Amino acid sequence: MGGLSEGLTQLLIPAAALLGIGFALLQWLLVSRVKVYSYPDDESQENNLIEGGQEEGIDDVEVVAKCAEIQKAISVGATSFLFTQYKYLVVFMGAFGAIIFLFLGSVKSFSTKSEPCTYNKGQMCKPALANAIFSTIAFLLGALTSVLSGFLGMKIATYANARTSLEARRGIGRAFVIAFRSGAVMGFLLAANGLLVLYASINLFKLYYGDDWEGLYESITGYGLGGSSMALFGRVGGGIYTKAADVGADLVGKIEKNIPEDDPRNPAVIADNVGDNVGDIAGMGSDLFGSYAESTCAALFVASISSFGSTHNYAAMSYPLLISSMGIVICLITTLFATDLIEIKKVSDIEPSLKRQLLISTVLMTVGVALVSFVALPSKFTLYDFGNDKVVKNWHIFFCVVTGLWAGLVIGYTTEYYTSNAYSPVQDVADSCRTGAATNVIFGLALGYKSVIIPIFSIALSIYVSFRLGAMYGIAMAALGMLSTIATGLAIDAYGPISDNAGGIAEMAGMSHEIRERTDALDAAGNTTAAIGKGFAIGSAALVSLALFGAFVSRADIETVNVMNPKVFIGLIVGAMLPYWFSAMTMKSVGSAALKMVEEVRRQFNSIPGLMEGRTKPDYANCVKISTDASLKEMIPPGGLVLVTPLIAGTFFGVETLAGLLAGSLVSGVQVAISASNTGGAWDNAKKYIEAGRSEHAKALGPKGSDAHKAAVIGDTVGDPLKDTSGPSLNILIKLMAVESLVFAPFFAAHGGIIFKHI
């Protein structure tokens, strides 16, 4: 037996979650010490602002007032967009919750009688109706937590952006710490909230289910479904919003009018900065929360039908939650390295410091996982392996978690190599801009395709190792291992958009060139970390959906998924097509929204007198409205495609075709997602490489406005929807279809395959 008692387990999990929330609040308090005033009439405030070695010769009070004004505009824009989006999502939650209830309730035609268990034969389990009710409740809880995660992240990001710009006047190190602390607030709140809500749900459901763990953890899978379905709309809606504004602002501002990025004369500039918050922060937050919820649900479900469930070993059953709790503690220690222990003195320290975060958290977490594995798990136990029982030792599971953890690091570092302008791949792309945009596009696409190779091999290796050691449970734990350092991963990911916003605010508030250089350096590092975050999200999505796929196959009672069976093969080939169909929808949405935006920006430049000279203000609100309307209208078809496909496949064609569909979408989705994200990231950083002009090679290609720079801007603009809309949304497509199939599996197994039954 493992040495951890039930009482202690019940204590440790919420304690770790509360520690995470406390740490997040502490970081938030430290960020709030940087004051942003908007009323420059009071004497004492004036003295406040002049303190500290800022630049001389700038009317500080005016700059701060301007920062406060811009920050407010961004915050109001982001909040109003999210509230409008949530109105739509509440309707969706109600409708989809009803579908879950009706489908699952109809499995045994809404009977309230207990029935024999699916796996532990000979024991009685709660009725299918209970599963329907509790799955629906879990779905709503997951959806709410997901929305909350995104919203809190957006709030802290819009709170921190102007503070980062102001701190940049005091030096690069101070600005970095503010941006990083704010990212940490989001990372820790999300990791702790996800854990706490899941832990509370399990304990509340237990009041009804009692000893029926099989039913309990089957209904908990709804939590993952809720998390990911909200993430899908958040990602797609936010991605369309941010990229419509970005593409519109770049095409007219940089290429036609030759004004710098984030110039206050550009009408789309506020919409662009709002977009960073609703797409990269709120969308990313919901997305990683979804992955985390699903990998935990998949692991809990597989464990509940193994010996942990039948012997009611609570500590071993809670192993996934204990790993996440340990992750919060480890990430807390890791964060201190960036904020307190190692100081940033110059620009070249930024990227190594962020990379160090990944390495430190991975190394420490390896020790943490060993500790949890030997304390919580019995030394020998059996795991469900498609109808057989596989005998496993606790160190096997330790290796499963650790392969996932280190595969995450490999994916992170590979992504960094392909998207950071410190290495040759991006520099080659930048070099190809000499001969125009066409060669830039060719080189960028090639880089994206090539960047898939190493991540896929590392995912393949971790799948093989974890499956051999721990069957389906092993794979779910490998996914959770990759996500165990989610607080650190999210902190370095949210750091990106915050510094991007800080740069925009510095430019709009008219801060000096030197400060803009500092914020640009923060932003370039942020681009790379955002790409690393997407790499993590995609890698973990691949493992999560494989684990969910395994759980679905065992729940739907499929003996083997035989590729030579025509029913399976048609599913496979159609599934592989879905990521392309989905990408086509999202890319086209960005394109048509950007078209409207470009027309509006041109109209304002042509019709508002004195706009180019800076005498009058552009109409920012109109551009914000274009982005909002486009994204709300356009997020529905791609979302519908993902949610309706498994229902149609399962109901009309049956579980075997659906199994093929899931396998196909997983295999092709991962490739498309990685290449799209990395191509876009590389184009963006190639442009930044030319703009920064730090090396002789970069100076030869630049300055801003040169032909090579214009070619780089075109590449960046093409890459925008790839890296921020379709790429990151694809990992949700893969996970969501799998978790949805698992939740609806009882219905499909009982009533699915209408067409094939009659042919």
DSSP label at 260? P
Residue 212 has pLDDT above 80, yes or no: no
Q: What is the pLDDT of residue 51?
A: 37
Letter string b/e over residues 710-737, b meaning 16 or more CB atoms within 10 A of that residue's CB: bbbbbbbbbbbbbbbbbbbbbbbbbbbb
Domains identified in the chain, total number: 1
Q: Rounded CA gap, 151 and 145, in Å? A: 10
Lowest mean pLDDT among 54-58, 220-224, 349-353, 552-556: 54-58
Helical packing angle, 319-336 and 284-304, nearest 10°: 140
pLDDT at 41: 43
Kindly tell me the sign of the dihedral angle through the C-alpha atoms of 333, 339, 340, 341.
positive
Reported as a pLDDT band with limits 50, 70 and 90, residue 758 is low
Tokens of 45: 């405030």
Q: Where residue 308 falls among pLDDT bands split at 50, 70, 90?
A: low
> Which pLDDT score is estimated for 342?
78
Strand, coil or helix: what is 380?
A: strand
Give percent of the chain above pLDDT 70: 94
- Please state, in angstroms and rounded to a whole number, the distance separating the CA atoms of residues 581 and 239: 17
**Which domain, by its residues, includes 148?**
6-38+72-758
Q: Does the structure show a pLDDT above 80 at 50?
A: no
Quote the DSSP letter at residue 108.
G
For residue 464, CA distances in Å to 291, 432, 546, 698, 718 come to 20, 39, 12, 43, 36
Q: Using CB atoms within 10 Å of the CB of residue 570, give its burial: 0 to 12 exposed, 13 to 18 middle, 19+ buried.
A: middle
pLDDT digit string (tens) for 697-709?
Answer: 878 887 777 888 8
Q: Of the segments 118-122, 256-260, 451-455, 609-613, which one has the largest average pLDDT value?
A: 451-455
pLDDT greater than 70 at residue 44:
no
pLDDT score at 460: 92
Give the span between the Cα atoms of 729 and 238, in whole angstroms.
Answer: 10
Give bridge partners of residue 388 from the DSSP assignment.
385
In a domain, 495, yes or no: yes
| 508: in domain | yes
For the stretch 234-246, pLDDT in tens is: 888 888 888 888 8
Give the residue-averaged pLDDT of 159-183. Answer: 88
Is 47 inside any structural domain? no
Q: Tell me which of 152-156, 232-236, 749-753 is least confident.
A: 749-753
Please work out, in degrees rounded to the nearest 5, the angle formed at the alpha carbon of residue 564 by the alpha carbons of 562 and 565.
70
Token pair of 724, please?
A: 């921020």
CA 451 – CA 678 distance, rounded (Å): 7
Decide if 61 is inside a domain: no
CB 203 within 8 A of CB 117: no
Residue type, 427: Q
- pLDDT value at residue 47: 37
Give the pLDDT band (50/70/90) at residue 3. Answer: low
Q: Indicate if the pLDDT at residue 215 is higher than 90.
A: no
709 in Cβ contact with 702 (< 8 Å): yes
What are the tokens at 662?
């899931």
- Confidence band of 666 (pLDDT split at 50, 70, 90): very high
Q: How confident is the model at residue 461 (pLDDT cuts 50, 70, 90)?
A: very high
Tens digits of per-residue pLDDT, 91-114? Answer: 989 998 998 888 888 877 666 777
Q: Is 263 domain-assigned?
A: yes
Mean pLDDT of 47-57: 41
Half-sphere exposure (Cβ direction) of 695: Cα atoms closer than 13 Å: 14
Residue-level pLDDT at 576? 94
Kindly state the tokens that stand for 386.
């498609």
- Indicate the pLDDT class of residue 42, thresholds 50, 70 and 90: very low
Q: What sign has the CA pseudo-torsion 141, 742, 532, 443?
A: negative
Handedness of CA 458, 463, 464, 470 (dihedral sign): positive
The pLDDT-based confidence of 220 (bands split at 50, 70, 90) is: confident
Q: Once rounded to an integer, what is the mean pLDDT over residues 288-300?
A: 85
The helix/strand/coil state of 558 is coil
**Of 396, 416, 527, the residue nearest 471 (C-alpha):** 396
Average pLDDT value for residue range 138-156:
88
pLDDT of residue 110: 67
Q: Are 9 and 325 in contact (CB under 8 A)?
A: no
* Residue 55 located in a structural domain: no
Q: Which residues pair with 383 in a beta bridge?
A: 390
Residue 618 φ/ψ region, left for φ over 0, alpha for ψ in the -120 to 50 degree band, beta for the rest: beta
Helix (H/G/I), strand (E/B), else coil: 225: helix
Is 340 domain-assigned? yes
Any bridge partners for residue 125, and if so which?
Answer: 115
Helix (H) or strand (E) segment spanning residue 116: strand 115-116
CA 170 – CA 272 distance, rounded (Å): 26
* Tally of residues, the chain: 759
For residue range 374-419, list pLDDT tens digits in order.
887 777 777 777 667 777 787 888 899 999 989 988 988 898 899 8
pLDDT of res. 128: 74
Per-residue pLDDT at 453:
94
- Six-digit token pair at 116? 């024999």
Check whether 149 has a pLDDT greater than 70. yes
Confidence of residue 574 (pLDDT cuts 50, 70, 90): very high
Better pLDDT: 577 or 41: 577
Residue 450 has pLDDT above 70, yes or no: yes
* pLDDT tens digits for range 325-341: 999 999 999 888 877 77
Average predicted confidence (pLDDT) for the chain: 84
Work out the pLDDT band at 582, boundaries 50, 70, 90. Answer: very high
